[in-house]
Amino acid sequence: MMLLAAAITIPLGLDLYLPVPEDNPLTAEKIELGRRLFFDRRLSRDGTISCSSCHDPERAFSDGRAVAVGVFGRVGRRNSPALINRGYGRSFFWDGRVATLEEQVLKPIEDPNEMDLSVAEAAARVGLTPEQISHALASYVRSILSGDSVYDRFVNGDRTALTAEQQAGLAIFRGKGNCTACHVGPNFTDERLHNTGVAWREGKWTDAGAGRGDFKTPTLREIARTAPYMHDGSLATLEEVVEYYDRGGNRNPGLDSELRPLRLSEAEKRHLVEFLRCLRATI
Amino acid sequence: MKSVFLIACTLALFAAPQKKDDPELQLQSAIQTENVDGDLKSAIEQYRKVIDRRGTSRDVVAKALVRLGLCYEKQGNAEARKQFERVVREYGDQKEAVATARARIAASAKPSHDSGVVARQIWVGPKVQPYGSISPDGRYISYSEGGAGDLAVHEIATGTDRRLTTTSTRAGDYAENSVISRDGRQVAYAWFNLNEGRRYELRLANLVGDPNPRRLFANGDINWVAPHDWSPDGKLIAVMLMRKDRSAQIGLVAAGDGSLRVLKSVDWRGATNMSFSPDGNYLAFDLPTQEASPKHDVYVLAVNGSRETPAVVHPSDDVLLGWSPDGKHLLFGSDRTGSMGLWAQGIVSGTLQGAARLVKPDIGRPQSLGVTASGAIYFGITTSSPDVQIATFNFNTGEFLSPPVNPIQEYVGTNSHPDWSRDGKYLSYVSRRDVLAIRTLATGEVRVLRPNMAGITQPRWALDGRSLLVSGTDLKGRRGIYRVDAQSGEVSPIVTAGIIHQQSRDGKKLYYNKGGVFVERDLASGEEREAIRTRVGMGIPNLSPDSRYAAARVQDPSTKAFTIMLFPIAGGGEPRELFRVPAPKRAENFLLWTPDSSGVIVGTFIDGKEDQIEFWRLSLDGAQPRPLGNALNARNPGGPPIRVHPDGRQIAFVGGRRANEVWALENFLPALNVGN
């Protein structure tokens, strides 16, 4: 573990270098302010919703719903992503439309289906400037880190940290399963957009994502705690996710070339799920 | 030399009647303009026309380039060196022109009191490897020996070499990147450990006294590791790692206990060089600018992970060379002026100071060996490289019926892995960085494909002539066998686990090596079977043209004796010994089948005398092995296999020798501080 600017601790398995903008250095004070804002319902129009409503720390900063529910019970169209290790992110939202955390954290406040408040009004309610809200929330999100799992201990040299089944699952993850084609690196994401066919139903897109059904690869850290899965929460369990990829996804004109039927045996599917479940730690 | 050159040209002038637009005649005219008229400007134009003219023979182009360089030299123009370097780089077969060019390059590298920067040739010869490091006192260069793969050090003053490891008792192990500690007492090096898990390890050896090579870091989750620099206090070693998921990481290994701290995860190709700042607070490194780009930019990362600075971000290729000893300048190579030069970027505490400045132009393509305490930068360059050659060959006598010639005149020194199309009309080859070129033999026209891959070897024409099967690496670092459309260059994977492929005569089956098994794969159904189970000491089996057999070199692990074994592929039967190599000779790994599949040609040699290969023709009918001399030695031993034209007479191969040199640039520090 390593202290970064005495503000946060980098757990085993994650890069020591956590990108932080020059104009928003990490400080303990800012992280604490961001934490309080994260749970502050005044940032929503009807005072019922905070960031934590959809990004619950008890659920690894996801919400357990298929799609997000905002003020006045308004239903969004996408699954609330887990806010895990987003400080290492290179683009944000399922369609990757935003480039920085500072910009991203303000969007849900303004979204009519989420918190439905102008940033200026939100700032007035909490007595801060929009920039202070942005910087504080971004700092807090940067501090949400998951590492030091049994997987991290295993790849750091403790060859007994994973069970035999989990090791078998890891081998499938990297080999026959072709999962590392997208879920790569310490954070299990290439931070890129892919068409896995999830949004292709009955010959058309239910959600075009970033264009032709492309959505950003999510991290797999804490995956066992962040069901349901995919950008629309359409798959309820990890077993369903593995089945989906085993059949090669929903075939469509722009399907990513990495997807093809895997022909995994039942035992291999079990092992793969066992491995995915081990990617959890204390956040 | 110059007069010999002129006489040769003049004799050629009278050798045969020539047309007025004959390139050689034009060359003579240009020489007259230069030497008789003294009009350098016009002569330069004339030489350029000769060089640019399509179809001009290689010897005339090489001569014209030399003359062009001499004209620029008279003008005091830095373009001179570029012409000479081009001759050395692209016209290695034109010995006289190359000799002249080399002499001029050496002369131009002498101390220039005007610039103050001194370029000094440090080390030349067959042992020179451009990957290694200079000791901080400038006395030693660490390197991996080209033959056995041992870690060695070269003492510059005496020219002597000393091994620090011994691979002779551990066949298959070898050293790669190495770096000498700042106190000059230890060398950290990458070691491929074939015998214990087929993995790379980070090891240490003493530079002084008993080398005592020892393991510092090994991890079952890491496929590859390469040390790049020691921290000034000797406590950390900066390494590049490749994980089993093919992600690359920049890490720090503690020299005391071998523990690893990952600083940053990066694109799987990683950095080509890393260097600690003299105060040890920062680590500089270069990274590819984009996924498929051959260009790099330079970054500086705080060793405590708190900050990263994009130090050199430019459309050109910028590669890290090191730091100035006072830590105020980052030194890098950049081709932003058209050729690679030494540049410096001011930097203080991770913050850039001013614009980058050119310190010395035209230093060649450098591979940094480091910066000494006195501020001299050492780097390796490759001055000549093997290239594709074709010849007519008699498989019964082992003699060339026509001498090898270089058919490719573009990007000479970068062309490799030739193959003939099945109708014999095309010659395909890999050129530059992962460009697939297809040459129409009748017209000389070259078509270029740029498959979306990061590495291509062994393009082999598929039966239908519409695609090529290649071994290679995709943009996610996955090695495998891919199909490349011969028109569009579109890539599709066939298998992403194997290497070194061959095809059956009917083109329906693919043979490749996968984890110690020679696999036969039906290309239509994807079904596979184990054709041969390989074993320790066995080379990759080589399929006969009729696909009935495979031959392989086998070394007995206990006696170290080499045999050539024949394995039935179709029709069953037991493997049998074709040839037992007389001790103490070794057999070359590559075996060449005769076009009619009646026999195999194998090269044998004594360790350390790889240039004295003796070839044997082995017959499948039981006839005695027959010596063939060493004419085939013209090819590049260890290079890609020889490919036989469908006519059974012409062969294509990679011939020639690679030559590396180590140079030092000295006395550039005063130039850096001017104006600071």
Contacts for B17-23 with beta carbons within 8 Å, 24 or more apart? B23/B50, B23/B53, B23/B55, B23/B56, B23/B57, B23/B60
Question: A15, A142, A153, A158: which to substitute to probe chain B, counting the most B Cβ within 10 Å?
Answer: A15
Q: Is residue A224 part of a domain?
A: yes
B 464-493 residues with CB < 8 A to A: 476, 492
- Determine phi and psi for B470, rounding to 5 degrees: -125, 150
User: In chain B, which residues have their Cβ closer than 8 Å to the Cβ of A2?
Assistant: 261, 304-305
User: In chain A, which residues have their Cβ closer than 8 Å to the Cβ of B242?
Assistant: none
User: In chain A, which residues have their Cβ closer than 8 Å to the Cβ of B306?
Assistant: 4-5
Is the pLDDT at B76 greater than 70, yes or no? Answer: no
A66 and A191 fall within a common domain: no
Q: What is the mean pLDDT of residues B364-370?
A: 90
- B152-200 tens-digit pLDDT: 999 999 999 999 998 755 667 899 999 999 999 999 999 998 878 788 9
Detail the DSSP E strand segments found in B498-633: 499-503, 509-514, 517-522, 528-533, 542-543, 549-555, 562-568, 576-580, 586-593, 599-605, 614-619, 626-629
Domain that holds residue A30: 2-142
User: In chain A, which residues have their Cβ closer than 8 Å to the Cβ of B305?
Assistant: 2, 4, 10, 15-18
Question: What's the confidence (pLDDT) of residue B234?
Answer: 97
A117 and A155 fall within a common domain: no
A98 and A158 fall within a common domain: no
Cα separation of B603 and B636, whole Å?
12
Give yes or no for a contact between B94 and B87, defined as CB atoms under 8 angstroms apart. Answer: yes
Is the pLDDT at B636 greater than 80, yes or no? Answer: no
**Are the beta carbons of B263 and A159 separated by less than 8 Å?**
no
**Are the beta carbons of B219 and A185 separated by less than 8 Å?**
no
pLDDT range class, residue B632, cuts 50, 70, 90? confident
% of residues, chain A, pLDDT over 70? 98
Question: What CATH number should be reported for the domain holding residue A89?
Answer: 1.10.760.10
**How many Å lie between the alpha carbon of B253 and the closest alpha carbon of chain A?**
12
Q: Is residue A51 part of a domain?
A: yes
Q: What rounded mean pLDDT belongs to chain B?
A: 87
A134 and A184 fall within a common domain: no
The reply to whether B263 touches chain A by the CB within 8 Å rule is: yes
Give yes or no for a contact between B68 and B77, defined as CB atoms under 8 angstroms apart. Answer: no
The reply to whether B452 touches chain A by the CB within 8 Å rule is: no
Question: What's the confidence (pLDDT) of residue B170?
Answer: 65
Is the pLDDT at A130 greater than 70, yes or no? Answer: yes
Q: Is residue A217 part of a domain?
A: yes
Question: What's the confidence (pLDDT) of residue B410?
Answer: 81
Question: What's the confidence (pLDDT) of residue B573?
Answer: 84
The helix-helix angle for B40-52 and B23-35 (nearest 10°) equals: 160
The reply to whether B527 touches chain A by the CB within 8 Å rule is: no
A130 and A224 fall within a common domain: no
**Are the beta carbons of B305 and A157 separated by less than 8 Å?**
no
pLDDT range class, residue B363, cuts 50, 70, 90? confident
- A56-87 tens-digit pLDDT: 999 999 999 999 999 999 999 999 999 999 99
Q: Is residue A72 part of a domain?
A: yes
The reply to whether B262 touches chain A by the CB within 8 Å rule is: yes
Query: Do the domains at B2-108 and B387-657 have one common CATH topology?
Result: no
Question: Number of structural domains, chain A?
Answer: 2
Q: Which two tokens stand for residue B294?
A: 């051959």
Domain B140-267, CATH class in plain words: mainly beta
Q: Is residue A248 part of a domain?
A: yes
A131 and A45 fall within a common domain: yes
ipTM: 0.94
Instruction: Give the list of residues 6+ apart from residue B462 with CB closer than 8 angstroms, or none.
Output: B468, B469, B483, B503, B507
| Superfamily the domain B387-657 falls into | TolB, C-terminal domain (2.120.10.30)
Q: What is the mean pLDDT of residues B83-98?
A: 84
Cα separation of A232 and A205, whole Å?
12
3-state secondary structure of B378: strand
| Number of helical H runs and strand E runs in chain A | 10, 6
**How many Å lie between the alpha carbon of B507 and the closest alpha carbon of chain A?**
25
The reply to whether B244 touches chain A by the CB within 8 Å rule is: yes
Q: What rounded mean pLDDT belongs to chain A?
A: 95
- B449-485 tens-digit pLDDT: 989 888 898 899 998 889 999 998 888 888 899 999 9
**Are the beta carbons of B305 and A154 separated by less than 8 Å?**
no
Q: Which residue has the higher pLDDT, B636 or B310?
A: B310
Chain B's closest residue to A172, CA to CA, is: B245
The reply to whether B158 touches chain A by the CB within 8 Å rule is: no
Question: What's the confidence (pLDDT) of residue B75?
Answer: 67
**How many Å lie between the alpha carbon of A263 and the closest alpha carbon of chain B?**
13
Interface size A-B, in CB pairs within 8 Å, comes to 58
User: In chain A, which residues have their Cβ closer than 8 Å to the Cβ of B498?
Assistant: none
Chain A's closest residue to B492, CA to CA, is: A257
% of residues, chain B, pLDDT over 90? 54
CA B219 to chain centre: 28
Give yes or no for a contact between A146 and A113, defined as CB atoms under 8 angstroms apart. Answer: no
Q: Is residue A165 part of a domain?
A: yes
Match 């230093």 to its residue by tokens.
B363
Cα separation of B629 and B394, whole Å?
12
Comparing CB atoms, the residue among A17, A155, A187 nearest residue B308 is: A17
Closest CA to B612 of B620, B604, B624: B604
User: In chain B, which residues have their Cβ closer than 8 Å to the Cβ of A174?
Assistant: 244-245
Question: B265, B291, B496: which to substitute to probe chain A, counting the most A Cβ within 10 Å?
Answer: B265
**How many Å lie between the alpha carbon of A136 and the closest alpha carbon of chain B?**
18
Examine the fold and report which residue of A104, A124, A142 is the final residue of a domain before the chain moves on.
A142
The reply to whether B264 touches chain A by the CB within 8 Å rule is: yes
A102 and A193 fall within a common domain: no
Cα separation of B274 and B278, whole Å?
13
Contacts for B482-489 with beta carbons within 8 Å, 24 or more apart? B482/B451, B482/B453, B484/B436, B484/B449, B484/B451, B484/B456, B484/B459, B486/B438, B486/B449, B488/B449, B489/B436, B489/B449, B489/B450, B489/B451, B489/B452
**How many Å lie between the alpha carbon of B306 and the closest alpha carbon of chain A?**
6
CATH fold for domain B2-108? 1.25.40
Q: Output the CA torsion sign for A105, A109, A114, A115.
A: positive
A69 and A90 fall within a common domain: yes
Q: Is residue A172 part of a domain?
A: yes
Question: What's the confidence (pLDDT) of residue B12?
Answer: 35
Is the pLDDT at B73 greater than 80, yes or no? Answer: no
pLDDT range class, residue B19, cuts 50, 70, 90? low
Q: What pTM, to 2 d.p., does this model score?
A: 0.79
Per domain, the residue ranges of chain B are 2-108, 116-138+271-382+658-676, 140-267, 387-657
**Are the beta carbons of A185 and B247 separated by less than 8 Å?**
yes
The helix-helix angle for B2-15 and B95-108 (nearest 10°) equals: 150
**How many Å lie between the alpha carbon of A160 and the closest alpha carbon of chain B?**
12
B318-323: strand order across its sheet: B318-323, B329-334, B341-348, B351-360
Closest CA to A198 of A89, A68, A66, A62: A66
Chain B's closest residue to A13, CA to CA, is: B262
**Are the beta carbons of A156 and B219 separated by less than 8 Å?**
yes
pLDDT range class, residue A135, cuts 50, 70, 90? very high
The helix-helix angle for B58-75 and B95-108 (nearest 10°) equals: 20
Cα separation of A177 and A221, whole Å?
18
- A196-244 tens-digit pLDDT: 999 999 999 999 999 999 999 999 999 999 999 999 999 999 999 999 9
A182 and A134 fall within a common domain: no
Question: B245, B268, B478: which to substitute to probe chain A, counting the most A Cβ within 10 Å?
Answer: B245
**How many Å lie between the alpha carbon of B287 and the closest alpha carbon of chain A?**
16
Q: What is the mean pLDDT of residues A255-273?
A: 96
**How many Å lie between the alpha carbon of A194 and the closest alpha carbon of chain B?**
14
**Are the beta carbons of B305 and A181 separated by less than 8 Å?**
no
Examine the fold and report which residue of A92, A113, A142 is the final residue of a domain before the chain moves on.
A142
Is the pLDDT at B109 greater than 70, yes or no? Answer: no
User: In chain B, which residues have their Cβ closer than 8 Å to the Cβ of A16?
Assistant: 261-264, 304-305
Q: Is residue A121 part of a domain?
A: yes
- B511-553 tens-digit pLDDT: 998 878 999 999 999 999 999 988 778 888 999 999 999 999 9
User: In chain B, which residues have their Cβ closer than 8 Å to the Cβ of A185?
Assistant: 245, 247, 265
Q: What is the mean pLDDT of residues B7-35?
A: 61
**How many Å lie between the alpha carbon of B512 and the closest alpha carbon of chain A?**
18
% of residues, chain B, pLDDT over 70? 92
Q: Output the CA torsion sign for B94, B97, B101, B102.
A: positive
**Are the beta carbons of A186 and B265 separated by less than 8 Å?**
yes
The reply to whether B514 touches chain A by the CB within 8 Å rule is: no
pLDDT range class, residue A164, cuts 50, 70, 90? very high
User: In chain B, which residues have their Cβ closer than 8 Å to the Cβ of A180?
Assistant: 245-246
% of residues, chain A, pLDDT over 90? 96
The reply to whether B221 touches chain A by the CB within 8 Å rule is: yes
**DSSP secondary structure string, B117-130?**
-EEEEEEESTT--S
Is the pLDDT at B297 greater than 60, yes or no? Answer: yes
Give yes or no for a contact between A2 and A10, defined as CB atoms under 8 angstroms apart. Answer: yes
**How many Å lie between the alpha carbon of B291 and the closest alpha carbon of chain A?**
12
Q: Which residue has the higher pLDDT, B638 or B316?
A: B316
Closest CA to A260 of A183, A179, A174, A191: A179
Is the pLDDT at B9 greater than 50, yes or no? Answer: no
Comparing CB atoms, the residue among A2, A19, A159 nearest residue B220 is: A159
pLDDT range class, residue B10, cuts 50, 70, 90? very low
Cα separation of B288 and B273, whole Å?
11
User: In chain A, which residues have their Cβ closer than 8 Å to the Cβ of B261?
Assistant: 2, 16
- B374-385 tens-digit pLDDT: 999 999 988 878
Alpha carbon separation from B568 to B507, B541, B548, B573, B592 (Å, rounded):
18, 11, 6, 6, 17
**Are the beta carbons of B308 and A19 separated by less than 8 Å?**
yes
pLDDT range class, residue B556, cuts 50, 70, 90? confident
Question: B239, B262, B287, B496: which to substitute to probe chain A, counting the most A Cβ within 10 Å?
Answer: B262
